[in-house]
Amino acid sequence: MTPKVLVLTGYGINCDIETQHAFRVAGADADRVHLKDLIDGTKKLSEYHILAFPGGFSFGDDIASGKVLANMIKYNLYDQVLEFIDAGKLIIGICNGFQAMVKMGLLPAFKGDFKKQEVTLTFNDSGRFEDRWVHLKSNPDSKCVFTKGVKNIYLPVRHGEGKFVIKDDEILTQLKKGNHIVFQYVDMEGKFAGYPHNPNGSIENIAGISDETGRVFGMMPHPEAFQHRTNHPAWTREKLPEEGAGIAIFRNSINYVLEDF
C-alpha cells in the first residue's frame, strides 16, 4: 500500500508544491487538491490517509492569518475533518496551515475537543515579517507522530504572524500536562533564548503543538523548505547529508500509516 496524502491548495496557499514533493520523497502518493473541489464534493477527504494544510497566504491573510481559511473549512467541511480524525488519520499544518488549524479549533484540542479555539498566532514582536532559519528542540514526552526520533532540527521561518499566545496560565498548564508542546525555539546550544532565536516572541518559545494523540500537528517553521542539502544556508561551507532534515517529519507520517492501516 502507498499512503495517500491530500495537500490542500487554492486561494493564496503557496507552499503546496513543495509540500507535495516532500511527501512524495518520503514515499507517499500526494495530490494537490483545491479547496473548492473538496467543498463541492469533486474530491473526497475520506479517500486519503493524511491531510496537509501548507504554508502561504490564504485569502491574503485578510482579517488575520489563516482566519478566512479556517472559517471556510469549519462551515463547509468540518464534519468530514472530524470523521477523518476519528478514523485515526493524520493532519499536519505548516505556517499558514498551523494558523488556520488553531483558529478553527483543531489544535490544541484539549480532551479531544476539536471545535473550541483555545490559543492563537498573532503579530511578531518585531513588528515585521521574519524570514530566517531557526533552531528547534522537540519535547521528549510528546506523542507527536511526525517528530518521532527528531530531537533537534534547523528550519526556516517565513511569517508575519507567528507569535503563539494564550489567554491565561490555565491554558499553559493544560498544554504542558497533556504534552501538547512539540517544538520550541532555542539557540545554537539548545537553550531557550529571545529574539532572533525566538523569531516572533512566542510564549514558552513554542513553535509547534499537537493534540493529545500526536496525530494532529501544527508548526510555524517550514520542514518542506529543507528537503535537500542545497536548501541549507551553509550548504557551500558545511558537509551535509544529501537529504534535508525536514524530510524526516514527512517520512514519520508515512511510516505511521504503513504500520497502522
Residues with a known catalytic role: 95, 222, 224
Rounded Cα gap, residues 63 and 57, in angstroms: 12
Sign of CA dihedral 72, 253, 19, 149: positive
217 grid coordinates:
500537528
Amino acid at 156: P
| CB distance 155 to 146 below 8 Å | no
31 grid coordinates:
495530490
What are the start-end ranges of the H helices in the chain?
A: 16-25, 35-39, 67-74, 78-86, 96-104, 169-177, 247-260
Rounded Cα gap, residues 245 and 137, in angstroms: 13
Per-residue DSSP letters for 148-175? Answer: TT--EEEEEEEESS-EEEESSHHHHHHH
Phi and psi dihedrals of 19, rounded to 5? -65, -45
Rounded Cα gap, residues 225 and 45, in angstroms: 25
Q: How deeply is 51 buried, as exposed, middle or buried, from its count of CB atoms within 10 A (0-12, 13-18, 19+)?
A: buried
